[in-house]
């Protein structure tokens, strides 16, 4: 009796799968799927380039000051290497102390610059990502896409479903 029940259950499951499979295949055939290459957008969109230039302009003076501080430290180190043997003990210790102080200050300033730059870059990237997402969502609604995926987890996307150039065109026109 148990064997007959198992057989009936197996047949019922097989029938259910057989009935549901054509339905799901038909539904899948009606799906409109799009693909967007985020890497291409980041490399090609004018907004990304503009953000990069803004950051460069904003941080150029601080970067220049850092380079000057590095040159100054290098000059002191060269002076110590060249004249250290003929300096008095107190002069040498004073110069070594100055070098250590400037090196600490340079490291601190460099770390602050990197942190500030990363914060601003993330802020700019966040604005740009929101803009890209808005354009993608608008395109998807206007053109009737059911699903738009990106290159983050996609192993293959045919050129037929790639809408990256359409997104770039809209970003360029904004």
What does the pLDDT read at residue 1? 56
Q: Token pair for residue 98?
A: 């100055």
Residue 9 pLDDT: 58
Which pLDDT score is estimated for 158? Answer: 81
Question: Could you write out the DSSP letters of every residue in 60-124?
Answer: HHHHHHHHHHHHHHHHHHHHHHHHTTTS-HHHHHHHHHHHHHHHHHHHHHHHHHHHHHHHHHHHH
Structure tokens at 29: 């055939």
pLDDT of residue 25: 43
In this prediction, residues 152-173 reach a mean pLDDT of 86
Q: What percent of the chain has pLDDT over 90?
A: 69
Output the pLDDT for position 58: 96
Strands 33-36 and 147-150, bridge-based pairing? parallel
45 in Cβ contact with 159 (< 8 Å): no
Q: What residue spans define the domains of the chain?
A: 1-30, 31-173
**At residue 22, does pLDDT exceed 80?**
no
Average pLDDT of span 133-144: 94
Across the chain, what does the average pLDDT equal? 86
Q: For residues 134 and 120, what is the distance between their CA atoms, to the nearest angstrom?
A: 21
How large is the average pLDDT for residues 108-112? Answer: 97
Lowest mean pLDDT among 1-15, 25-39, 93-107: 1-15
Tens-digit pLDDT profile for residues 73-91: 999 999 999 998 899 999 9
- pTM of the predicted structure, to 2 decimals: 0.68
The count of other CB atoms within 10 Å of the CB of residue 27 is 10
Q: Identify the CATH class of 31-173.
A: alpha beta
pLDDT at 16: 47
């Amino acid at each position: 009796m148990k064997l007959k029940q198992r057989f009936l259950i197996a047949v019922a499951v097989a029938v259910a799968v057989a009935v549901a499979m054509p339905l799901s295949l038909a539904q899948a055939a009606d799906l409109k799927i799009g693909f967007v290459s985020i890497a291409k957008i980041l490399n090609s969109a004018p907004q990304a380039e503009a953000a990069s230039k803004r950051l460069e302009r904003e941080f150029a003076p601080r970067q220049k000051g850092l380079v000057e501080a590095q040159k100054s430290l290098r000059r002191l180190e060269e002076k110590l290497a060249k004249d250290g043997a003929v300096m008095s003990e107190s002069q040498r210790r004073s110069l070594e102390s100055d070098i250590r102080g400037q090196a600490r200050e340079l490291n601190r300033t460099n770390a602050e610059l990197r942190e500030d730059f990363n914060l601003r870059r993330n802020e700019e990237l966040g604005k740009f990502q929101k803009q890209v997402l808005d354009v993608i969502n608008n395109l998807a609604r206007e053109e009737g896409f059911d699903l738009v995926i990106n290159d983050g987890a996609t192993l293959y996307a045919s050129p037929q479903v790639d809408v990256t150039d359409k997104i770039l065109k809209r970003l360029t026109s904004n």
